[in-house]
Structure 1
Amino acid sequence: MKPILTIFTPTYNRAHTIGRTYESLKKQNCKEFIWLIIDDGSTDNTSKLVEQWKNESCGFEIRYIYKENGGMHTAHNIAYENIDTELNMCIDSDDCVAEGAVKKILDKWEKIKNEDYAGIIGLDSDMQGEIIGKDFPKDLVDTTLNAYYANGGSGDKKLVYRTDIINKYPPYPVFEGERYVALGYKYRLIDQEYKLSILNEVLVNVDYQQNGSSATMWKQYVKNPKGFAFWRKVSMQYPESKKRLWVDCTHYVSNSIMAGNRHFIIESPRKGLTIMSIPSGIVLYFVTRYKARKI
């Protein structure tokens, strides 16, 4: 019987951590899934490790795709093009699938698959089992990402999407010379039409690496201004809140100046607010330059 879940892992030079991910998959009490590894141009021994694992009796199918380095969002694009199961979930190459998570996902999906959900939203925890941010209110059945955070939610959450829904929306854009576009782009679009069914269980144990993108965000702003400006425009079209809209406009101005885009006011979906945000955007531009040099 063909699995209905693909767990995909974008990776770049994580041979020293991806073995932990593999071990967590081997320990699952349900092996009805495919593990798809998208290697984003690694120069370490990741490919040799994967070849070794494919020859082991791990109980699940391993697929491996190597591509030129292009950033996390391009790895997601390749993953979505190659997933042929009903559901998919991303896990980073320095994280672990929580004990029993696959069975919990499949059991939940069996109960709600005939309802018009985009998928399932579950919890992340750290490696010690402490929930990242907040768990879900006990009486909450479903939500969108926007609604969850707008109503006081916090912390990263694990998303299990229907593959047909995730592929209904455009792929992440690629900007020449840049390596970052927010993964939230697709999620924000999905939010406008679909909800996610809540699974109030830990699905992934996460370990943030010091050299990961979240730890070097100031440099990311400088290196990928077009990608960030694109994301800010999407966020301005579908804002999380009024307060967040102002923040996104300010970042949009800063990102646009960084990218050398003189037409950013014309291209803005919120022209009036963008004009009002120019002073704060200029300040943020100089702060970003300063912070990036300090890292």
Structure 2
Amino acid sequence: MSPRPRLTILTASWDRAHLLGRLHASLMRQPVAHGQVEWLVVDDGSTDETHAELARLSAQPGTIPMRYVRQPHGGKHRALNTGFAAAHGDWIAVIDSDDWCRDNALPAVLALLDQIAQEDVFAAILPLIVPKAARQYCFRQPDRALTYTERANTEPAFDCTLIFRRDTDGLRFPEFPKEDFLAEAALLFQLGRDRRVWLSNHVLVEAEYQPDGLSAHILRKRMASPVGACHGYQVTLACRLRPALRLRTLANYGRFWWHAQLRRSRPPAPASLPQGLALLPGALFYLIDVAFSAARR
């Protein structure tokens, strides 16, 4: 029996056949021993040439074995759930199909994971570099363990590379009928209300945001999946947040509660008086969203 890989690179992909080769090439250049790392791709019901491209890439030899599975389109969070269940590695690094691994970065990350293996953490979080961006971010105080709530309260918010410990209890996104988007923060705050993550300024991944990607259409995706959005904000509000973050989260809960109502969905009811009061400004933000969306059509 082959030994368990130390790390699974997990990629949820939808209609990204033209980008998968770049990620594959960056993985094959990594100086790691055969079997230490695997690449698992979950094809989320692609309608382009993804299936043929995955078959072509998986047939190529390399030190990082590749597997892929296909499922009906359900959104990135559902594809990640499939990947969490199918991964073989001790750790699972989520790398999108429009990302690539920085040259020679994997050995240092594997060493980091060995270093923190005995730490009581459910994930390691690394900065994500966007070469075309005007500003790059990193942690102010890296190389420490703290709850994800503390990370949100004390560190700047920016896109990150998430590396989850595979055997973490509760490592699964909730799924809501007829909705295909749920922000990763919903899972991070659920797991990290009292549990810890490790912050590191190691860089594993560089990214190129796509014009039709999730980041470019995040508001539209939340508007179309408002029950999940409300759930995520309620999970966040169950944590001890700094005042400014709590107010912003309350406003967003009220905002997407109205989006759900007008879509005749059933959003989670207010769980506290502040959440109920947030429905008042939320109605205004909802109307602004509707007007903004109409103006862009």
TM-score over 0.5 (shorter chain): yes
- Taking structure 2 as the reference length, what is the TM-score of the superposition? 0.89
Aligned-partner SS, 1:13? coil
Alignment partner, residue 259 of structure 1: 260
2:29 counterpart residue number: 27
- Aligned partners of 2:148, 2:210: CA distance in 1, in Å? 24
Q: 2:131 aligns with which of 127, 131, 153?
A: 127
The alpha-carbon distance between structure 1 residues 185 and 263, as it changes in their structure 2 partners (threshold 3 A), is closer
The CA deviation at 1:262 is 9.4
Q: Which amino acid aligns with 1:5?
A: L
- Hey, what does 1:53 align to over in structure 2? 57
Residue by residue over 1:5-36, the C-alpha shift from the partner in whole angstroms, topping out at 9 and shown as x without a partner, is 00000000001112111111011111521100
Question: TM-score by structure 1 length?
Answer: 0.90
Q: Is the 8 A contact 1:136 1:200 kept in 2?
A: no
| Residues 142-181 of structure 1: pairs in structure 2 closer than 5 A | 142-165=145-168, 168-169=169-170, 171-181=172-182
Q: Please state if 1:208 is matched with 2:204.
A: no
Q: Deviation string for 1:49-91 (max 9, x for gaps)?
A: 1111111112221110100000111011111111122110100
- 2:248: which partner in 1? 247
Alignment-mate amino acid for residue 40 of structure 2: L
Inter-partner Cα distance in structure 2 for 1:250 and 1:285: 10
Gap change, CA 1:33 and 1:289, over 3 Å in 2 = same
The size of the alignment, in residue pairs, is 290
Aligned to 2:292: 291
Q: Provide the rounded CA distance (Å) in 2 between the counterparts of 1:280 and 1:85.
A: 45
Mark the CA change 1:109 to 1:117 in structure 2 (over 3 Å): closer, same or farther. same
Query: Is the aligned partner of 1:93 residue 2:94?
Result: no
Residue number among 98, 105, 122 corresponding to 1:118 in the alignment: 122
Q: Among the aligned pairs, what percent are the same residue?
A: 22
Contact 1:129 1:205 in 2 (8 A): no
Opposite residue 150 of structure 1, the aligned amino acid is N
Change (3 A) 1:215 1:170: same
Where structure 1 has 5 or more consecutive residues not aligned to the other structure, the ranges are: none
Q: Counterpart of 1:16 in structure 2: which amino acid?
A: H
Contact 1:132 1:156 in 2 (8 A): no
Residues 154 and 245 (structure 1), Cα distance of their counterparts in 2 relative to 1, 3 Å cut: closer
Report the AA paired with residue 218 of structure 2.
M
Task: Summarize the alignment of residues 192-231 of structure 1 with structure 2, pairs less than 5 Å apart.
Answer: 192-231=193-232
Match of 2:282 in 1: 281
User: Which range moved further: 218-227 or 70-79?
Assistant: 218-227
RMSD: 2.2
| Residue 105 of structure 1 pairs with residue 109 of structure 2 | yes
Letter in 2 for 1:66: R
Which segment is superposed worse, 40-49 or 144-153?
Answer: 144-153
| Whole-angstrom distance in 1 between the partners of 2:119 and 2:172 | 25
Tell me which moved more, 64-73 or 197-206. 197-206
- Using the TM superposition, give the Cα deviation of residue 196 of structure 1 relative to its aligned residue in structure 2, in angstroms: 2.2
